[in-house]
Amino acid sequence: MEYIKDPMEIERKSFEIITQELGEKTFPEKEGRIIKRMIHTTADFQYADITEISKEAIDSALTALREGCSIYTDTKMAMAGINKSVLKELNCEIYCLVDDPQVAKEAKEKGLTRSMVAMKKAVEDEKTKIFVIGNAPTALFQLCHYIDEEKKSPSLVVGVPVGFVGAKESKDELVKRSVPHITTLGRKGGSTVAAAIVNALLYMLK
């Protein structure tokens, strides 16, 4: 069994193949880096067609990251996939509250999802400027609600819940808002996609 073992070389060659297979489908430089990393993490070229990056999203996110913001993720999976050493270099923090015992207790009492209760706490945290939602439509609906109520004005919402019940609808709500956002229209998305988007942004600052 002969195979390439060097991780850097694997990644370089992967992006070369993705660029080649995208063919005439080209993007502005920074948008392209995000979309190609989404394809890299899924091997699914449909992300070239369903990804929507609002005009100011990348600049707004990079400013927040340069200032050392906190990032909230709706799942531990998305959090696990985001590059911690680059975050540390930038003095940024990342957290997820979905396993917080207080959140679990409150969710049970109120008949809400843990994602919803956790989102409320994240919105109340001043340092949290970037919201990364890869799984729970309820969390994204909830965040849209807080944006409408002017309880929060995020620097970026990565809103890419995946699934069959509410995922599409929650993203349709997100794009109606003027908040800086990166999303995937329709059903597709997920924690790996969310992490890929954040990592692409982080690598722009390396």
Shortest Cβ 96–its own copies spacing (Å): 9
Instruction: Choose which of 191, 198, 200, 201 interacts with its own copies (CB under 8 A).
Output: 191
Binding its own copies (rule: CB under 8 A), the pick from 29, 55, 109, 164 is 164
Q: Is 74 in the site for its own copies (CB under 8 A)?
A: no
User: Could you confirm whether 40 is annotated as catalytic?
Assistant: yes
- Catalytic residue, from 36, 37, 40, 129: name it: 40
Which range, of 7-15, 26-34, 58-66, 118-126, touches its own copies by CB under 8 A? Answer: 7-15
Query: CB of 80: closest distance to its own copies in angstroms?
Result: 4
Choose, by CB under 8 A, the member of 24, 149, 165, 206 that binds its own copies: 165
Segment interacting with its own copies (CB under 8 A) among 27-35, 54-62, 73-81, 125-133? 73-81
Going 95 to 40 to 22 to 201, the CA torsion angle's sign is positive
Position 98: which residue type?
Answer: V
Contact status: 17 vs its own copies (CB under 8 A): yes
Q: Report 100-129 residues binding its own copies (CB under 8 A).
A: 111-113, 116
Residues 167-186 binding its own copies (CB under 8 A) are 167, 169-170, 173, 186
d(CA 182, CA 197): 8
DSSP the chain: ------HHHHHHHHHHHHHHHHTT----HHHHHHHHHHHHHH--TTHHHHEEE-TTHHHHHHHHHHTT-EEEESSHHHHHHS-HHHHHHTT-EEE--TT-HHHHHHHHHHT--HHHHHHHHHHH-TTEEEEEESS-HHHHHHHHHHHHTTS---SEEEE---SSSSHHHHHHHHHHS-S-EEEE-SS---HHHHHHHHHHHHHHT-
Binding site for its own copies (CB under 8 A): 1, 3-7, 10, 13-14, 17-18, 40-44, 75-77, 79-81, 111-113, 116, 137-138, 141, 144-145, 162-167, 169-170, 173, 186-192, 195
